[in-house]
């Protein structure tokens, strides 16, 4: 039977199993594992139910196998029932079973359940530690993943393997934690895992997401035969850095080497065209997806196209595409949110209100829709509509997400909130430097304030004060007094960087003769000598 399973002849293996007069636990478990390997995890679960009617008692390997089936299916309810049987049969302390349970809970988006299993384990090996770190990383809890990694380093004699290191690097990528990412890279090299494709791909992605495209490029070119995933990471990274032509060159190189792109690769390509103003090239790539590669464009791809057309002022075409695509509310949120942003940018109030209406009625990005409507009315001087919109927001309990930026210095993250000076580290020094930079910027012709960023009719002086205390400015000034000269200051932000702060950062980079990299919700901005890599197109 095992021979049939290894040869991939699962039906023959199953037939032979049926002919066994009294199959034992090894036979049952082997057949379950065979069906899982054949992509039939539901059959494995059915076999467990059938096994319950026999006199055969499952062992630890049986439960580990079945938990793996639940993990593949992300079937939390069945997984919990299997976990109950694990407790009943007394395998709750088994290392292999517990590691499988951690993985199952993690892939079923119940990371707290995974942590409960992990904490109750008397002994943990490299697999259980890796499973817990991976569970946190996959569920967007990178801080917890790094904390578990620290505990592993402090309490275990084992060296991290490539699975663990890849998860740690992915956690650093999601958080933009460059310092810890570099420490993890050092561990990769010391452990001889730098030639591992999985780890190398994670490093390419991490450096790209932390704004170090040069490092990303170096790691990428050390991969002997890069596959689709590392190529895609480089394409997306270059696109978000405003290097659209580099993204397209990488894509062409990939095709010439006979490497098939996937749907994510095309998202990177379309994103590159969008952020570089390459509209015709972008439309050609959209059409080639199915015609040349058999990939059907989905809502995310059309969202990139809407963004691409909208940025260049072709709002009517973008609107037609958005209207022509039938999407569910959750899928259409990004599409209509993108149209909302670009239409406001170009002063198309008709499309702005249409997009806002769609989002509000679909209960998607409601705060963004209301805020954009309010700002659009403010730009037009229609203050009665501004106050009415604000009243509706309060009545419906809608609040705008507060601006937040953070900066990492020596393995510690400092967080800054818009307008919050009281909690700002080294607050008096930061405000003092901010005022000095404002003065020097005005000497160069800088005009403070920011059109469209306020919700009520306020005095110009108040506008300038509000914008001047945006979180990224506080983070930058803290970086200027805390990061040694010669080092690039890297700021992360949870929202899109406003145009006024963008102009200020360009001037400040020229005044202080330093480089800054800002990662906002959309892309990277690399400021140097009074200019930005986005070339004011973002």
The tens digit of pLDDT for each residue in 166-186 reads 999 999 999 989 989 999 999
Q: What is the pLDDT of residue 367?
A: 82
Q: What is the pLDDT of residue 533?
A: 87
Q: Which residues pair with 61 in a beta bridge?
A: none
Specify whether the CB–CB gap between 394 and 484 falls below 8 A.
no
Taking 3-state DSSP, the helix, strand and coil percentages for the chain, each rounded to the nearest 5, stand at 65, 5, 30
> Between these two residues, 484 and 448, which has the higher pLDDT value?
484
Specify whether the CB–CB gap between 344 and 352 falls below 8 A.
yes
3-state secondary structure of 469: coil
- The sign of the CA dihedral 381, 383, 384, 389 is positive
- Phi-psi category of 74—alpha, beta or left, where left has phi over 0 and alpha has psi -120 to 50? left
Q: How confident is the model at residue 496 (pLDDT cuts 50, 70, 90)?
A: confident
Residue 460 pLDDT greater than 60, yes or no:
no
Q: What is the pLDDT of residue 277?
A: 85
* Among 528, 465, 529, residue whose Cα is nearest residue 500: 465
Please state, in angstroms and rounded to a whole number, the distance separating the CA atoms of residues 370 and 217: 41
* Among 453, 479, 472, residue whose Cα is nearest residue 525: 472
Q: What is the pLDDT of residue 453?
A: 39
Residue 467 pLDDT greater than 60, yes or no:
no
* Among 326, 455, 439, 319, residue whose Cα is nearest residue 399: 455
Mean pLDDT of 452-464: 37
**Which tens digit of pLDDT belongs to each residue from 226-272?**
999 999 999 999 998 888 899 999 999 999 999 999 999 999 999 99
Q: What is the pLDDT of residue 499?
A: 84
**Which tens digit of pLDDT belongs to each residue from 69-120?**
999 999 999 999 999 999 999 999 999 999 999 999 999 999 999 999 999 9
Q: What is the pLDDT of residue 538?
A: 66
Q: What is the pLDDT of residue 373?
A: 80
Mean pLDDT of 193-216: 91
Query: Measuring CA to CA, how many Å separate 436 from each of 476, 477, 501?
Result: 13, 10, 16
Write the DSSP string, 382-451: -HHHHHHHHHHHHHTT--PPPPEEEEEETTEEEEEETT--TTSTTHHHHHHHHHHHHHHHHHTT-----T
Please state, in angstroms and rounded to a whole number, the distance separating the CA atoms of residues 434 and 40: 61
Specify whether the CB–CB gap between 260 and 293 falls below 8 A.
yes
Specify whether the CB–CB gap between 322 and 336 falls below 8 A.
yes
Mean pLDDT of 144-164: 91
Q: How confident is the model at residue 449 (pLDDT cuts 50, 70, 90)?
A: low
Specify whether the CB–CB gap between 310 and 346 falls below 8 A.
yes
* Among 83, 138, 133, 81, residue whose Cα is nearest residue 108: 138
Please report, rounded to a whole number, the percentage of residues in the chain having pLDDT higher than 70. Answer: 96
Q: How confident is the model at residue 502 (pLDDT cuts 50, 70, 90)?
A: very high
Write the DSSP string, 25-61: HHHHHHHHHHHHHTT-HHHHHHHHHHHTTSSPPP-HH
Q: What is the pLDDT of residue 451?
A: 44
**Which tens digit of pLDDT belongs to each residue from 330-372?**
778 889 989 988 888 888 889 988 888 888 888 877 788 888 8
The mean pLDDT value of the chain amounts to 89
Tokens describing residue 313: 């002022």
Residue 412 pLDDT greater than 90, yes or no:
no
Write the DSSP string, 294-351: -PPP-HHHHHHHHHHHHHTT-HHHHHHHHHH----HHHHHHHHHHHHHHHHHTT-HHH
Please report, rounded to a whole number, the percentage of residues in the chain having pLDDT higher than 90. Answer: 61
Chain mean position to CA 304: 17
Please state, in angstroms and rounded to a whole number, the distance separating the CA atoms of residues 112 and 118: 10
- Per DSSP, the chain holds a count of helices (H) and strands (E) of 28, 6
Please state, in angstroms and rounded to a whole number, the distance separating the CA atoms of residues 37 and 109: 23
> Between these two residues, 388 and 483, which has the higher pLDDT value?
483
Report the range of poorest mean pLDDT among 51-60, 187-196, 441-450: 441-450
Residue 452 pLDDT greater than 50, yes or no:
no
Q: How confident is the model at residue 377 (pLDDT cuts 50, 70, 90)?
A: confident
Mean pLDDT of 496-506: 90
Q: What is the pLDDT of residue 368?
A: 80
């Amino acid at each position: 039977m095992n021979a049939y399973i290894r040869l991939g002849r699962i039906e023959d293996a199953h037939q032979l199993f049926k002919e066994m007069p009294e199959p034992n636990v090894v036979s049952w478990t082997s057949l379950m594992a065979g069906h899982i390997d054949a992509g039939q995890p539901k059959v494995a679960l059915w076999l467990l139910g059938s096994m319950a009617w026999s006199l055969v008692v499952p062992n630890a390997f049986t439960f580990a196998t079945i938990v793996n089936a639940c993990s593949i299916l992300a079937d939390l309810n069945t997984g919990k029932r299997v976990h109950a049987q694990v407790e009943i049969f007394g395998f709750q302390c088994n290392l292999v079973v517990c590691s499988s349970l951690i993985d199952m809970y993690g892939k079923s988006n119940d990371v707290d359940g995974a942590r409960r299993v992990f904490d109750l384990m008397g002994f943990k090996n490299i697999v259980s530690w890796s499973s817990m770190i991976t569970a946190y990383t996959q569920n967007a809890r990178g801080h917890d993943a790094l904390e578990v990694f620290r505990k592993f380093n402090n309490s275990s004699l084992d060296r991290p393997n490539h699975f663990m290191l890849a998860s740690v690097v992915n956690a650093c990528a999601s958080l933009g934690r460059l310092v810890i990412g570099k420490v993890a890279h050092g561990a990769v090299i010391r452990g001889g895992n730098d030639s591992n494709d999985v780890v190398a791909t994670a490093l390419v992605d991490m450096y790209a997401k932390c704004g170090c495209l040069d490092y990303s490029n170096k790691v990428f070119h050390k991969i002997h035969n890069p596959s689709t995933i590392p190529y895609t990471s480089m394409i997306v990274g270059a696109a978000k850095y405003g290097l659209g032509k580099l993204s397209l060159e990488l894509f062409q190189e990939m095709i010439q080497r006979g490497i098939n792109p996937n749907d994510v690769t095309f998202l990177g390509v379309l994103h590159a065209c969008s952020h570089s103003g390459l509209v015709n090239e972008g439309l050609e790539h959209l059409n080639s997806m199915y015609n040349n590669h058999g990939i059907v464009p989905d809502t995310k791809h059309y969202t990139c196209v809407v963004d691409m057309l909208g940025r260049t002022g072709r709002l009517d075409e973008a609107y037609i595409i958005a209207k022509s695509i039938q999407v569910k509310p959750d899928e259409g949120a990004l599409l209509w949110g993108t149209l909302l942003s670009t239409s406001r940018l170009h002063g198309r109030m008709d499309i702005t209100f249409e997009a806002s209406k769609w989002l509000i009625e679909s209960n998607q990005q409601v705060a963004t829709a209301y805020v954009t409507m309010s700002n659009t009315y403010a730009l037009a001087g229609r203050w009665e509509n501004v106050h009415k919109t604000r009243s509706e927001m309060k009545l419906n309990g809608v609040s705008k997400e507060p601006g937040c930026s953070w900066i990492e210095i020596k393995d510690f993250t400092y967080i800054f909130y818009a307008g919050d000076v009281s909690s700002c580290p080294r607050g008096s020094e930061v405000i003092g430097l901010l005022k000095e930079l404002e003065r020097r910027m005005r000497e160069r012709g800088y005009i403070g304030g920011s059109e469209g960023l306020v919700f009520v009719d306020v005095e110009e002086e108040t506008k300038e004060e509000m914008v001047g205390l945006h979180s990224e400015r506080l983070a930058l000034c803290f970086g200027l007094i805390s990061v040694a000269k010669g080092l690039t200051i890297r700021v992360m932000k949870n929202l899109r960087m406003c145009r006024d702060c963008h102009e200020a950062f360009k001037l400040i980079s020229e005044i202080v003769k330093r480089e800054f990299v800002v990662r906002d919700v959309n892309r990277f901005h690399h400021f140097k000598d009074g200019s930005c890599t986005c070339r004011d197109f973002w």
